[in-house]
Amino acid sequence: MKELNKTLAGKVALSDDKRGVLAVDLRQRDGVKPGMHCEVRRLGQKIGTVLITEVQNWGSWAKPEGDLRIDQVQKGDFVEVIEEK
């Protein structure tokens, strides 16, 4: 059973096509750690998943996983950490 009150969620702030990474507004103090996986959604539809690679005070850097391409993700897309048990 999921604990909804502990959900870590944020938004895509920008995408860096050259480096192939996304900036998301999930910060260190939110409890985000490198290696966490996040689901990316737009208008309630899952677009794909990203992997948190670096966590900073201002937010995090994430890389698209699987079939997700960087150009499919838009600023303002919803990101939520998904627990893998």
pLDDT in tens, 35-82: 999 999 999 999 999 999 999 999 999 999 999 999 999 999 999 999
Q: Which amino acid is at 64?
A: P
pTM, whole model, 2 decimals? 0.87
List phi, psi (to 5°) of 13.
-90, -40
**Cα–Cα dist 84/17, whole Å:** 28
Give the chain's radius of gyration (CA, Å): 12
